[in-house]
């Protein structure tokens, strides 16, 4: 246990966050996300099944800045056309991001579903959450630590 580190983050995830450099990305997948197959390329899968994605996002952003050199360093999986699904979790994500990055909602882009899977395969680490909200998958691009 360490002081100042959110207890929700497991030790291996802390190691991966520390290893990541500027421009590296991670994905937080919801409970339906194919995390194991997405992580097969990198071999870096962190299971956080008992935790929601909003809490994980907040804890990660306590430690990791978003990339300030790209306009929108956060990506959400776009709802498939015709899918009658609401995404209230996106407003929760925007509120968390606004607490950690001055761009707030402007830092977020939507990524077409199959393109999202392609981008997720190229992330440094895949986090499998226990989030049950639909379309709750999110990609974060790490920025520079300046302090």
pLDDT digits (tens, 9 = 90+) for 82-126: 999 999 999 999 999 999 999 999 999 999 999 999 999 999 999
Exposed (0-12), middle (13-18) or buried (19+): which is 79, by Cβ within 10 Å?
Answer: middle
Query: What is the Cα Rg of the chain in Å?
Result: 14
Q: Is 67 a catalytic residue?
A: yes
What is the token pair recorded at 39? 């992580």
Other C-beta atoms lying within 10 Å of the C-beta of residue 135: 21
Active-site residue 16, yes or no? no
pTM: 0.96
pLDDT in tens, 25-55: 999 999 999 999 999 999 999 999 999 999 9
> Do 44 and 125 contact (CB within 8 A), yes or no?
yes
Tokens of 87: 């995404």
Task: Name which CATH class applies to 13-125.
Answer: alpha beta
The one-character DSSP state at 103 is: T
Q: Which of 30, 67, 101, 135 is catalytic?
A: 67
Active site residue 117: yes
Single out the catalytic residue among 22, 49, 83, 122: 22
Tens-digit pLDDT profile for residues 60-80: 999 999 999 999 999 999 999
């Amino acid at each position: 246990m360490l002081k100042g580190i959110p207890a929700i983050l497991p030790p291996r995830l802390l190691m991966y966050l520390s290893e990541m450099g500027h421009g590296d990305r991670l994905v937080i997948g919801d409970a339906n996300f194919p995390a194991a197959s997405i992580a097969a390329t990198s071999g870096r899968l962190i299971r956080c099944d008992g935790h929601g994605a909003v809490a994980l996002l907040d804890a990660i952003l306590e430690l990791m800045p978003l990339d300030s050199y790209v306009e929108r360093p956060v990506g959400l999986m776009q709802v498939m056309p015709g899918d009658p699904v609401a995404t209230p979790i996106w407003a929760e994500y925007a509120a968390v991001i606004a607490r950690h990055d001055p761009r707030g909602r402007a830092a977020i882009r939507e990524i077409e579903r199959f393109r999202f899977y392609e981008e997720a395969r190229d992330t440094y680490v895949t986090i499998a959450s226990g989030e049950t909200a639909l379309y709750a998958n999110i990609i974060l691009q790490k920025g520079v630590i300046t302090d």
